[in-house]
């Protein structure tokens, strides 16, 4: 209790003076906004939408060139903007940003799950707004200032700001790129000695840790809650995680470009963070679908003026909820389901797991690979099907193979196949990895 008081009233304000951005104020404001009525929330969203659209056509060279005339109605104004795809963001980021200098800005890389990663820029206030949404979502999962956290991520080389954040928020940060059973068992045994209050991680990481705990009969590891991010949380994942760690899983949905879309409340509803983002779910013709219908996700950020992302298509499918009220009391609108890419696992001969995040992070360094699917053919042979303007040369193929071998300290056989179309799941989504060897990892 004492540390919670110190963190909220002294450490966070002190850290904000050092780092900037106004995080404590933004958290307080956002938590107040989530208690507004549906009418008030819609009014606020439209006000912020009109403001960011007007700013974009005045200050972003990309949007200036489109010669879009403003409208008094923000939603009518929005409909005049074309859908923004990831290739355009990658190719025209210099025209999208509204600042003449990158000094003082922070670059955020997309995950690269739908092609080469793109880069989006934020100033300190905009980054704080994104962080405020995250902490608000954590509060829905029972997080209180001072609670301890176990978190997995793809980059252990934490920046100064993130290292300070980890200390303040009592966070232990571990690698998510590869999971060997021995490494997971070590972390699980550490948790038995030094428990953490909350576990925040990619869905695949959470599942693998839970599966390992269940397989080895480690039944005394408990969290107050588990928070899933970054990947589709499959039903069997949720079941295993809740069984292993004796708590509820709270799933979150956002994009790695800093757009925080929706999170589950205590009643399991996915509430859309309308003060932060404008969400459209559209059909193939770009028309809004009705409640209960599936469509393509388009996002418009309401807090990032440095890199305005307007009607940005992130490659996901979602279903709008038919519900208009939730027992949690919040009147934020809801999504029924997010249909992300099916998360599977590949397993090496030495029983190490290759996850979607691993493959994405390796191929991130080969931008000539625009899209890909990695298929495990046998215990140690893999086929990389890829879309690229030119065929990968032998040097690039060897470097990709060596990247996986260095990461896992094993030898693999790799076959590379340039294709025009990649395999899709029944929902129409690209499958980033396909396991033809292990039916159930």
C-beta separation of 115 from 87 below 8 A: yes
Q: In this prediction, what percent of the chain has a pLDDT beyond 90? A: 66
Query: 158 versus 420: which is more confidently predicted?
Result: 420
Q: Which residues pair with 17 in a beta bridge?
A: none
pLDDT at residue 69, rounded to an integer: 96
Token pair 């390992």 is found at: 212
CA distance 112 to 356: 11
Mean pLDDT of 358-369: 87
Averaged pLDDT score across all residues of the chain: 90
Those residues whose C-beta lies under 8 Å from the C-beta of residue 170, and which sit 6 or more positions away, are 146, 147, 148, 149
Choice among 2-11, 20-29, 55-64 with the minimum mean pLDDT: 2-11
Q: Structural domain boundaries of the chain?
A: 2-83+125-338, 346-435
pLDDT at residue 429, rounded to an integer: 47
C-beta separation of 284 from 313 below 8 A: no
CA distance 269 to 186: 34
- In this predicted model, what pLDDT tens digit does every residue of 332-355 receive, in sequence order? 999 998 876 545 678 899 988 887
pLDDT at residue 311, rounded to an integer: 98
pLDDT beyond 70 at 175: yes
Intrachain domains 2-83+125-338 and 346-435 with the same fold: no
pLDDT at residue 422, rounded to an integer: 82
- In this predicted model, what pLDDT tens digit does every residue of 117-173 receive, in sequence order? 678 999 999 999 999 999 999 999 999 999 999 998 766 677 777 787 888 889 998
* DSSP structure string for 228-277: EESS---HHHHHHHHHHHTS-EEEEEEETTTEEEEEE-TTS-EEE-TTTE
Those residues whose C-beta lies under 8 Å from the C-beta of residue 303, and which sit 6 or more positions away, are 48, 126, 129, 130, 276
Per CATH, which fold does 346-435 belong to?
Answer: GMP Synthetase; Chain A, domain 3 (3.30.300)
CATH code, 2-83+125-338: 3.40.50.12780
Mean pLDDT of 286-302: 94
Check residue 326 and report its DSSP letter. -
Those residues whose C-beta lies under 8 Å from the C-beta of residue 217, and which sit 6 or more positions away, are none
Mean pLDDT of 104-110: 85
CA distance 321 to 344: 27
Query: 154 versus 431: which is more confidently predicted?
Result: 431
Check residue 217 and report its DSSP letter. T
């Amino acid at each position: 209790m004492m540390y919670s008081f110190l963190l909220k009233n002294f450490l966070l304000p002190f850290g904000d003076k050092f780092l900037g951005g106004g995080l404590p104020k933004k958290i307080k404001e956002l938590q107040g906004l989530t208690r507004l009525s549906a009418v008030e929330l819609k009014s606020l969203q439209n006000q912020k939408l009109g403001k960011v659209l007007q700013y974009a056509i005045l200050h972003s060279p990309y949007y200036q060139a489109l010669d879009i005339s403003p409208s008094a109605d923000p939603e009518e104004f929005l409909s005049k903007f074309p859908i923004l795809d990831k290739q355009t963001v990658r190719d025209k980021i210099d025209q999208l940003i509204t600042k003449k200098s990158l000094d003082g800005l922070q670059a955020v890389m997309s995950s690269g799950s739908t092609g080469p990663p793109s880069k989006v820029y934020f100033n300190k206030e905009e980054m704080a707004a994104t962080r405020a949404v995250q902490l608000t979502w954590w509060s829905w999962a029972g997080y209180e200032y001072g609670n301890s956290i176990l978190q997995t991520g793809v980059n252990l080389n934490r920046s100064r700001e993130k290292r300070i954040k980890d200390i303040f928020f009592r966070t232990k940060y571990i690698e998510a790129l590869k999971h060997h059973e021995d490494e997971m068992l070590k972390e699980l045994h550490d948790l038995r000695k030094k428990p953490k209050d909350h576990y925040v991680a990619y869905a695949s990481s959470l599942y693998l840790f839970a599966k390992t705990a269940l397989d080895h009969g480690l039944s005394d590891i408990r969290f107050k809650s588990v928070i899933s991010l970054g990947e589709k949380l499959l039903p069997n994942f949720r079941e295993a995680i809740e069984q292993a760690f004796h708590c509820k899983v709270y799933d979150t949905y956002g994009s790695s470009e800093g757009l925080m879309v929706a999170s589950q409340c205590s009643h399991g509803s996915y509430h859309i963070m309308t003060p932060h983002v404008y969400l459209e779910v559209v059909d193939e013709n770009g028309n809004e679908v009705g409640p209960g219908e599936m469509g393509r996700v388009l996002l418009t950020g309401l807090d990032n003026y440095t890199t305005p992302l307007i009607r940005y298509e992130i490659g996901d499918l979602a279903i709008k909820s038919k519900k208009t009220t939730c027992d949690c009391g919040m009147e934020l609108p809801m999504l029924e389901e997010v249909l992300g890419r099916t998360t599977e696992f590949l397993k090496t001969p030495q029983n190490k797991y290759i996850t979607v995040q691993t493959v994405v992070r390796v191929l991130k360094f080969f931008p000539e690979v625009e899209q890909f699917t990695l298929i495990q053919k046998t215990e140690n042979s893999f086929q990389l099907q890829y879309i690229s303007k030119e065929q990968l040369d032998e040097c690039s193929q060897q470097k990709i193979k060596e990247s996986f071998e260095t990461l896992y300290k094993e030898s693999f056989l790799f076959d590379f196949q340039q294709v025009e179309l990649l395999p899709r799941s029944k929902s129409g989504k690209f499958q980033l990895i396909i396991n033809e060897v292990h039916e159930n990892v």
